[in-house]
Amino acid sequence: MCLRCGYEQRCVLFRNDDGTLKADEAGNCLMDIKESIGYGAARLRYKEGFGRIYRFDAPLTGDETDALRKELQSPDIDEGSYAVLFDPQSGAFTVLGGELPEDCPDEKEQSGKEQA
């Protein structure tokens, strides 16, 4: 999962009836690769020592965006928390709070656009 845009790629291994991994004649594992477009991501770290990373699989509503901005301003939120929205069509990021995390290595390929 990209911590900036929320793009996600999952590999699901195929298994035989007995639970062993299916493989082709060359011994390579057979799998299905599932990709999901992202609309942004957030990391909320709390001063109590726990946190969570979210990916947005659809554009956020205005109310959801407002609630996320409010949560980021909470005194319980620790440094390193952030939230960013991503528009896959334009390739634009909108930072709601915190600092945007580092680029993913293949982010330019995912969005098809140069990122600033």
**pLDDT tens per residue across span 82-114:** 999 999 999 888 899 887 777 655 444 444 433
What is the value of pTM for the model shown? 0.68
Quick: pLDDT tens for 25-70: 998 989 988 888 889 999 999 988 888 989 999 999 999 999 999 9
Q: Which residues pair with 85 in a beta bridge?
A: 40, 94
Instruction: Give, for 53, the enclosing helix (H) or strand (E).
Output: strand 51-55
Residue boundaries of the structural domains of the chain: 36-104
Residue that wins the pLDDT comparison between 7 and 85: 85
CB 100 within 8 A of CB 93: yes
